[in-house]
């Protein structure tokens, strides 16, 4: 996912510190970064807070230039934001000024990567920040550079390397505030950065800080879909699927359209070759029991076009639908299975809410109904109608940040349905090891066939 700038500005807070004005519209931001400068002989690092109940920002290393201005970069990850009336407060009795940047598309769990600081005590018109090199594999970071301009310089603007944004700058104001400048660069590679600020009027005791922040993990992508078509009366059949992407995950959803008590015995990929068994994820029967949807999956299916074999407990009408996604975690690919059932009075939606923990996941849902014309509420991947009803599946696309997601199908009046869904996790998932694939680890019995990995 690409980081994008939402807001950027600088604020003079005065001799006793204060609150930024005008208010900032940070709608859509998922990280807020603050560069602070203050007169070090009078005060230590200022406390930076805001009016959105985000607490104090997380401060990185402080740079104290001898006898002059200190610099420090701090941040809030995944903060509360909003349109208008978002302001930043710096508590400092020391001529403070701040630069504020906000971005979308950051890594929500652990955004900070690298930092450095630098300063010059003698008179100068340039200042480098110190070098940072993104951690290996982090090629889409945002680099934030912050400069403290003290006493002698009354420049109202400064420049920086052309690959960085034009700095927002406040000039030194005698008896009121130190000067500062803030700039950023959204990278497309993992090379080192050591930008240099420049200004016109020579000044001494100049400090600078730099920090890098990670983008959200590389996302899951849709690869392909296929289905068996309507199988009028069969207990054993095959259909093809095609895998082209790296780190693939194969989802096979089997929709049973008749015969109470019938189930899926097995699903096998690369039939006649590797004969790789899919893992049962979960299932739900309709209220009448005559319809049923079962979800099966396999991490790392072999690439190319291969056959999927589905074996049922009875020779009945059914549909099997398959989706392949790339960029899925191969060790722990799924989480948050959930399901639902109902018989409509009037026309209504079949709905299931999936609540993932992993950022940048996707949700897959499958529906069975005794309605031959159902419509997906999200991105339809397969939709097959048969004599006794329909079987279909869909996916959500990117979910960022992780949030409860409701998947839907429109179903006609007086029709009965069952729907099941779960989330697939991206390759780089910071939450692995902290969550279970199925958060509801208890048995409910009755028509609920599976919650949390237990199968009737």
Structure confidence by residue, pLDDT tens digits, 276-299: 999 999 999 999 888 999 999 999
Q: Assign 143 to helix, strand or coil.
A: strand
Q: Which helix (H) or strand (E) holds 285?
A: strand 279-285
Q: What pLDDT shows up at residue 451?
A: 36
pLDDT in 10s for each residue of the chain, 456 residues = 689 999 999 988 877 777 887 778 898 899 999 998 888 777 677 788 888 888 888 888 877 655 577 888 999 998 988 766 778 887 666 788 889 999 998 988 889 999 999 988 888 899 999 999 999 878 889 999 999 887 555 566 789 999 999 999 888 887 777 888 999 999 989 999 999 999 888 888 888 999 999 988 667 999 999 999 999 989 999 999 999 998 999 999 999 998 788 999 999 999 999 999 999 999 999 998 889 999 999 999 999 999 999 999 999 999 999 999 999 999 999 999 999 999 999 889 999 999 999 888 999 999 999 999 999 999 999 999 999 999 999 999 989 889 999 999 999 999 999 999 999 999 866 555 444 444 333 233 333 343 334 344
SS3 state of residue 244: coil
CA pair distance 178, 194, nearest whole angstrom: 23
Q: Measured between alpha carbons, how far is 406 from 35 in angstroms, rounded to an integer?
A: 39
pLDDT of residue 64: 63
Tally of CA atoms within 13 A in the half-sphere of 455 that contains its CB: 15
Q: What is the rounded (10 degree) CA torsion for 430, 436, 439, 441? A: -170
At 57, list the tokens. 């920002």
Is 407:420 a contact under the CB 8 Å cutoff? no
Q: Is 439 exposed, middle or buried (0-12, 13-18, 19+ CB in 10 A)?
A: middle
Residue 136 pLDDT: 81
pLDDT at 53: 87
Closest to 197 measured CA to CA, from 212, 182, 179, 177:
182
Residue 300: CB atoms within 10 Å: 15
What are 24's strand-pairing partners? 86
Query: What pLDDT score was predicted for residue 102?
Result: 95
Nearest-angstrom CA–CA distance, 71 and 90? 13
């Amino acid at each position: 996912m690409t980081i994008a700038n939402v807001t950027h500005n600088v604020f003079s807070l005065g001799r006793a510190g204060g609150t930024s004005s005008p208010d900032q519209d940070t709608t859509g931001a998922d990280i807020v970064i603050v560069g602070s400068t203050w007169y070090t002989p009078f005060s230590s690092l200022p406390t930076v807070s805001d009016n959105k109940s985000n607490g104090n920002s997380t401060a990185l290393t402080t740079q104290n230039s001898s006898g002059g201005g200190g610099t420090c970069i701090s941040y809030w990850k995944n903060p509360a934001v909003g349109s208008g009336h978002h302001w930043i407060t710096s508590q400092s009795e020391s001529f403070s000024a701040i630069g504020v940047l906000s971005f979308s598309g950051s890594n929500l769990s652990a955004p900070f990567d690298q930092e450095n600081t630098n300063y010059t005590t003698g008179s100068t018109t340039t200042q480098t920040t110190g070098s940072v090199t993104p951690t290996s594999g982090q090629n889409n970071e945002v680099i934030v550079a912050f400069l403290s301009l003290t006493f002698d310089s009354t420049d109202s603007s400064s420049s920086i390397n052309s690959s960085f944004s034009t700095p927002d700058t406040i000039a030194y104001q005698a008896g009121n505030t130190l000067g500062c400048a803030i700039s950023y660069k959204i990278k497309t590679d993992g090379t080192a950065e050591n930008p240099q600020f420049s200004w016109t009027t020579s000044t001494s005791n100049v400090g600078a800080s730099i920090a890098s922040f990670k983008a959200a993990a590389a996302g899951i992508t849709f690869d392909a879909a296929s289905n068996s078509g309507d199988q009028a009366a069969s207990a054993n059949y095959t259909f093809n699927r095609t895998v082209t992407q790296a780190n693939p995950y194969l989802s096979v959803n089997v929709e049973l359209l008749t015969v109470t008590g019938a189930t899926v015995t097995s699903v096998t990929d690369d039939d006649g070759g590797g004969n790789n068994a899919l893992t049962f994820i979960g299932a739900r029967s309709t209220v009448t029991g005559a319809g049923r949807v079962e979800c099966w999956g396999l991490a790392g299916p072999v690439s190319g076009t291969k056959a999927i074999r589905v074996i049922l407990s009875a020779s009945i009408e059914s549909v099997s639908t398959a989706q392949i996604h790339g960029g899925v975690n191969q060790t722990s690919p799924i989480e948050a299975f959930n399901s639902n059932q109902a018989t409509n009075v009037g026309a209504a939606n079949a709905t299931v809410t999936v609540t993932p923990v992993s950022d940048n996941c996707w949700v897959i849902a499958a529906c069975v109904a005794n309605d031959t014309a159902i419509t997906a509420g999200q991105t339809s991947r397969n939709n097959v109608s048969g004599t006794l009803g329909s079987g279909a599946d869909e996916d959500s696309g990117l979910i960022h940040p992780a949030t409860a997601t409701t998947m839907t199908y429109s179903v006609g009046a007086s029709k009965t349905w069952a729907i099941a869904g779960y989330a697939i996790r991206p390759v780089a998932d910071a939450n692995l090891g902290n969550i279970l694939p199925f958060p509801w680890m208890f048995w409910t019995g009755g028509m609920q066939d599976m919650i949390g990995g237990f199968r009737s």
